[in-house]
Amino acid sequence: MYNPFSLSGKTIFVTGASSGIGKATAIECSKMGAQLIITGRNEERLNDTFQLLEGKGHVKMIADLNVKEDLDLLVNQIPPLNGIAHCAGMLITLPFPYISKEKMDTIFEVNFFSPTLITQRLLKNKKIKNNSSIVFISSLAGVVCTTLANSMYSATKGAINGMAKGMALDLSHKKIRVNCVNPGMINTEMINESVITKEQVQEDAKRYPLKRYGNPEEVAYAAIYLLSDASAWVTGSNLIIDGGLTLQ
């Protein structure tokens, strides 16, 4: 049956695949026929993701992309790619008067430097084929709006969006597309690890016209669109997935 969103025959690299949006993206891409290369720092959780992948030929690589030795090994072993979904990320909630260079270095390393520099390494090593697609899981924060005590997080996402637009232009001669998915609040472990209480989450969800936060799979579906040939004329774009929050 014809399916313009099929990923059959495509090799897709997913970072941050051990949990949350990365885990959902890997699983849903496998259902669409992709061959997956997944990476994460937590071996047990990455194994859980790997067991849920459909199809055969998938590869898992335990790696900390901020460690040079891990990055070197990954770049050397990874096969030529048709797509990348950069899903690894972290949140540090701290009011602006209390931020520090050390904490900014930490969050920028994970949310900005790691995905951009590994992409550069893969390009230089000819591991990203022409006509491929690169997708960054960004955020509404720092691009459309922000929230209290999240200036550092917003800064990283604003930076990744700016980088993605520049990359889209620089790589257009290779027909390599670069786009961002910009979600609102998503039900992931990141919420549980933050300082926000369950009651605050329930109250905050009321701000959304659809009266709930999104689910990781709903972000994964957006990534699949951008990784597939259905979006062959889309590059340098932000795909907002926010339950209608920015309508208000």
Catalytic residues: 153
Judge whether 228 and 236 are in contact, CB under 8 Å: no
Q: For residues 81 and 12, what is the distance between their CA atoms, to the nearest angstrom?
A: 6
Q: For residues 213 and 208, what is the distance between their CA atoms, to the nearest angstrom?
A: 8
Kindly list the distances between the CA atom of residue 140 and the CA atoms of 32, 60, 160, 183, 184, in Å, as whole numbers in the listed order. Answer: 27, 30, 12, 6, 6
Judge whether 12 and 79 are in contact, CB under 8 Å: no
Q: What number of residues does the chain have?
A: 248
C-alpha closest to that of 8 among 166, 227, 214, 205: 227
Q: For residues 235 and 178, what is the distance between their CA atoms, to the nearest angstrom?
A: 5
Q: For residues 227 and 129, what is the distance between their CA atoms, to the nearest angstrom?
A: 13
